[in-house]
Structure 1
Amino acid sequence: MADLPPPRKHAGDDVASPTARHLEEHRAALTGHCYRMLGSAAEADDAVQETMVRAWRSLGSFEGRASLRTWLYRIATHVCLDALNERTRRARPMELGPPNAIDGPITTLPSYRWVEPIPDVRALPADADPAELLALRQSIRLAFVAALQHLPPRQRAVLLLTEVLGWPAAEVAETLDTSVASVNSALQRARATLATRDLTETRAPLSDAQSVLVDRYVDAFQRYDVTALTKLLHEDATMSMPPYALWLRGHEPIRYWLLGPGAPCRGSRLVPTAACGAPAFGQYRPGGPGESHKPWALIVLELSDTHIVAMNYFLDTETLFPLFGLPPELPPEPQGGPSQPQGGPSQPQGG
């Protein structure tokens, strides 16, 4: 992860008597922090709301020794630790077992088992400077947030407060009511755990080559040219589809899946958005002739410098599309739209 600059003042910090408006100015920063802790956009929203309630009730105890944002981060950290007391670890399909066989059974797991995506706009504070924004964007990547879920809650808090927010160990120790030695020990153990995960950094914002790569992906997907799309993938690229535990690795399994019986994703349309610091799209599959396109998946891409390394399809559109401000449907395409390549071999489901 990129190093954060020294902590600086933010909007609403220099106030002797904070109001509800001053608290609200920090909502995005707090949402990003709670998302890293919890791995869920919905749970992060709930945690931030509880943070605001606790802060409002405690405004009389705010003495201004720390900035308002720091004070709120302290409250939010404890709210998240309370929420994590008795909760199952969230994960990604790739962490639950080996790649699936194409014709194998498909297991569905409840939403609380999965690391969920979050809109960039809800988790990244608008008042962050470019260097700070870069580090914060890196810290909401799916791979990083999933790796954090392998840490015990207090280790997770220590790592985030020190490595992401740039707090000194003494301030973290005061926040968690522990010693500096305990903070340093927890940080060392957390770093050792994360060192076993694949957390290669991606560019943020996208490089010119990555922007071209994303444009080529959109073009190939909307034409449903699976051959062209496959060429954009890294040879070990993965494809996952929560809430299904199924995941695939490599060109042939992914190609075979996308060209399944009738290739139901042929004719899909994509609406761009941004999730977890990465390019993302609302995917709408076609209905019948003259019918509107219906929500199918939120697609979050993960990129290397030259290839797509993961296509993450999140199928809970009833929750995710409103969260991302995506329309509930798209109108039918006008007659004479682009022709679509025909499908290939049969397979279980399609993309």
Structure 2
Amino acid sequence: MNAPDTGAGGRGGPLALARTGDRPAFDRLVGPYRRELHLHAYRMLGSFHDADDVVQETLLRAWRALDRFEERRGTADDPVRAWLYRIATNRCLTLLETRARRELPTGFGHDERPPDDIAWLEPYPDALLDADPGTAALRRESVELAFVVALQRLSPMQRAAVVLRDVLDFPAREAADVLDTTVPSVNSALQRARRALAAGRRPGDSRTQRQELGALPPGELRALARRYARAWDRGDVDAIVAMLGDDVRYSMPPGATWYEGPDAVREFLVRYPLTLRWRFVPTRSNGQLAFGAYLLDEGSGRFRPVGVDVLTLRSGRVSAVTAFLTADLTPWGLPEEPPEGELEGESAGEPAGEPDAGPGEGPGAE
């Protein structure tokens, strides 16, 4: 990833001005890194809201420590970026010392009770990934649900090593500087992380969602999104189940219960969700097809936002539905009420065109 042109150096650059107490100059200095720091914190912590807090604290600490920043320190091509990553990564590692890893309900057995204080993984809107077209494809792969969940199961140091080296493409020396450790230590953590990621893959998950979506015939994703949304709008359980794969998993964090297989999902849908009226608006989340879910409020007769359903596809069938029931739809750019009528174009969930990655590519691949 090329360093943003912040014009940091020089007497009149934002770094020099920021050191005089010029806050707008500081904002210009760090502004190009905000989005990627947020993504970095999300990968490390599995929480959109915790990532917000980490970015705010990182920038506050950077502002307060400007007088101690050494522009030529270390081996980084972009010392400001490396410095911010050092602050953000260390803040994430500090938080992870006292917090349990985030999970999805499917990470526990059907008869296994999750801890009472479990913190669930949160979704991430693609709208925040698309701002930088040059890196949007890589960013989508590195926030796919399966990959982010797998990261949470690594030790904090392994997690940091694989994110810095395999996702962000930091050289080993620069990653060691960020983590305040040695190159052999980073390489050792990275190798352990890669082995753990490979061992933890679900059977059939050899392709990323970017590859799965890229393999669909032109227009098929839009058609699939329309069929799925229409089936929910009509309460058509047969149409919904017809789109599911044989190994489908259906979960609804923060609820701990989950269902496996089309028959179990059908029974659950008929028993409760489809006794209510829904509207689904296609969107994208974690590099995957997703839907903003709206539930009819019988009192007002209006549909109210409920959360975000993220779908995992395998060979054109739905292999997982993760319904995040408490997600705020605002970061997805979705309205307070669903639009009337048929959905067209980008609103129908068709991701922007992007080249397919070859087998074995992407974060964590060996």
TM-score, normalised with respect to structure 1: 0.82
- SS for the counterpart of 1:203 is helix
1:270 correspondence with 2:249: no
Which of 123, 127, 139 matches 2:132? 127
1:91 correspondence with 2:85: no
Structure 1 position 257, deviation (Å): 1.0
Structure 1 position 99, deviation (Å): 7.5
Cα 1:244/1:180, change in 2 over 3 Å: same
Structure 1 counterpart of 2:322: 312
Q: Is contact 1:99-1:249 (8 Å) kept? A: no
Q: Is contact 1:99-1:247 (8 Å) kept? A: no
TM-superposition CA deviations, 1:240-284 (whole Å, max 9, x none): 01111101011111111111158333x311223321111222211
Mean CA deviation greater in 245-254 or 277-286: 277-286
Match for 2:229: what amino acid?
V
Q: Is contact 1:202-1:303 (8 Å) kept? A: yes
Structure 1 position 217, deviation (Å): 1.3
Structure 1 counterpart of 2:308: 298
Structure 1 position 168, deviation (Å): 1.2
Gaps of at least 5 residues in structure 1 are 1-6, 101-105, 335-351
- SS for the counterpart of 1:136 is helix
Q: Is contact 2:285-2:310 (8 Å) kept? A: yes
Structure 2 counterpart of 1:52: 59
Q: Is contact 2:251-2:257 (8 Å) kept? A: yes
Q: Is contact 2:100-2:119 (8 Å) kept? A: yes
Structure 1 position 329, deviation (Å): 4.2
Cα 1:220/1:261, change in 2 over 3 Å: closer
Aligned equivalents of 2:299 and 2:100: distance in 1? 44
Which of 213, 218, 237 matches 2:248? 237
Structure 2 counterpart of 1:158: 161
TM-superposition CA deviations, 1:34-71 (whole Å, max 9, x none): 00000000101100111111122223314156413333
Structure 1 counterpart of 2:93: 81
Cα 1:158/1:168, change in 2 over 3 Å: same
Q: Is contact 1:222-1:270 (8 Å) kept? A: yes
Mean CA deviation greater in 168-177 or 244-253: 168-177
1:180 correspondence with 2:190: no
Q: Is contact 1:109-1:243 (8 Å) kept? A: no
Aligned runs of 1:113-262 on 2, under 5 Å?
A: 113-122=119-128, 124=129, 126-129=131-134, 132-198=135-201, 199-200=205-206, 201-203=208-210, 206=214, 207=216, 208=218, 209-260=220-271
Aligned equivalents of 2:7 and 2:148: distance in 1? 28
Cα 1:211/1:57, change in 2 over 3 Å: same
Aligned equivalents of 1:196 and 1:273: distance in 2? 31
Q: Is contact 1:108-1:244 (8 Å) kept? A: no
Cα 1:172/1:281, change in 2 over 3 Å: same
Which of 288, 293, 305 matches 1:283? 293
Structure 1 position 216, deviation (Å): 1.9
| Count of residue pairs brought into register by the alignment | 315
Structure 1 position 219, deviation (Å): 2.1
Structure 2 counterpart of 1:347: none
Name the % identity.
Answer: 40
Q: Is contact 2:252-2:258 (8 Å) kept? A: yes
Cα 1:290/1:195, change in 2 over 3 Å: same
Aligned equivalents of 2:289 and 2:273: distance in 1? 28
Structure 2 counterpart of 1:17: 14
- SS for the counterpart of 2:209 is coil
Gaps of at least 5 residues in structure 2 are 16-25, 342-366
Cα 1:150/1:322, change in 2 over 3 Å: same
Structure 1 counterpart of 2:347: none
Aligned equivalents of 1:213 and 1:115: distance in 2? 26
- SS for the counterpart of 2:159 is helix
Query: RMSD over aligned Cα, in angstroms?
Result: 2.6
Structure 1 counterpart of 2:50: 43
Q: Is contact 2:225-2:282 (8 Å) kept? A: no
Structure 1 position 309, deviation (Å): 1.0
- SS for the counterpart of 2:312 is strand
Aligned equivalents of 2:127 and 2:34: distance in 1? 11
Mean CA deviation greater in 321-330 or 77-86: 321-330
